[in-house]
Amino acid sequence: MRLHRFHLFGLISGIFLIILFGTIQPLIRVSSNTRKPQLILVLGGDLDREFLGLKIANRLKLPILITGGSNPEYSQWMVKEEGIDSALVRRDYRAKDTLSNFTSIVDDLAEDGINHILLITSEYHIDRAMLIGSIIAGSRGIRLSKVSVPCSTYCKEESNKKYYIDLIRAIAWVTTGKDLKDIFPHEIKLILID
């Protein structure tokens, strides 16, 4: 009986180490990445983010991906106003929250050979977005740099609870490929209620 427990412990430890080292290897690559950003990623939810992202994309002549942003018609109007080649602008509306802003696109970006992204979001949101994004994108060897949009009067500080829940969700997604919100939707919702 002891021998079985020892083998089971060894098997579980081995699986854990394989998962851990498989996850850490791309993160190590990210830390040594000194290349310039290849893409601007704007997390939707605030028109100021999109405006700033488009201005930076125009100045740096970089492609831009806007996730969960304004409606396509308004977004196209902003692109035209900024004078950006519409071929450089992509939109993705799959995201439902900050975690899925990254999980819904990260594999596509890795396949496209993207290894450094300039992330744009609001000042109050940047720390949590960078934490989640660094874990999710980092798991695919993609480095993030950040630019935050100054807060307007409606900005409010995010709770530590939200920060830590999303940290756990990001780690779970990297190790399992699943979002805990999809596995335990009711429980996560109860935890997030203040």
pLDDT for 3 equals 47
pLDDT for 180 equals 85
Residue 105 has pLDDT above 60, yes or no: yes
Task: At 103, list the tokens.
Answer: 């999980």
Which residues does residue 61 pair with via DSSP β-bridges, in sequence order?
none
How confident is the model over 115-127, as a mean pLDDT? 94
Nearest to 53 by CA among 11, 89, 20, 15: 89
pLDDT for 184 equals 80
Task: At 111, list the tokens.
Answer: 């396949």
Which residues does residue 64 pair with via DSSP β-bridges, in sequence order?
40, 89
The CATH class of 17-157 is: alpha beta
pLDDT for 186 equals 76
Residues 167 and 169: their CA atoms lie apart, in Å, by 5
Q: Would you say 142 and 112 are in contact if contact means Cβ atoms under 8 Å apart?
A: no
Residue 4 has pLDDT above 70, yes or no: no
How confident is the model over 147-158, as a mean pLDDT? 82
Q: How far is CA 134 from CA 13, 20, 74, 82, 164, in A?
A: 26, 16, 30, 29, 14
Q: Name the more confident of 19 and 121.
A: 121
pLDDT per position as a tens digit, 24-62? 555 555 555 567 999 999 998 888 999 999 999 999 999
Q: Would you say 19 and 176 are in contact if contact means Cβ atoms under 8 Å apart?
A: no
pLDDT for 97 equals 92
How confident is the model over 73-91, as a mean pLDDT? 92
**Domain regions of the chain by residue span:** 17-157
Nearest to 39 by CA among 74, 103, 90: 90
Residue 2 has pLDDT above 60, yes or no: no
The phi, psi pair for 148, rounded to 5°, reads -105, 145
Q: Reduce the DSSP state of residue 155 to 3 states and report it.
A: coil
Residue 8 has pLDDT above 70, yes or no: no
Which residues does residue 43 pair with via DSSP β-bridges, in sequence order?
67
Q: Which amino acid is at 53?
A: G
Cα-Cα-Cα-Cα dihedral sign, residues 34, 60, 150, 44: negative
Q: What is the percent of the chain where pLDDT is above 70? A: 79
The phi, psi pair for 65, rounded to 5°, reads -120, 125
| Phi-psi label, residue 141: left if phi above 0, alpha if psi -120 to 50, beta otherwise | left
pLDDT per position as a tens digit, 167-176? 989 998 998 8
pLDDT for 194 equals 45
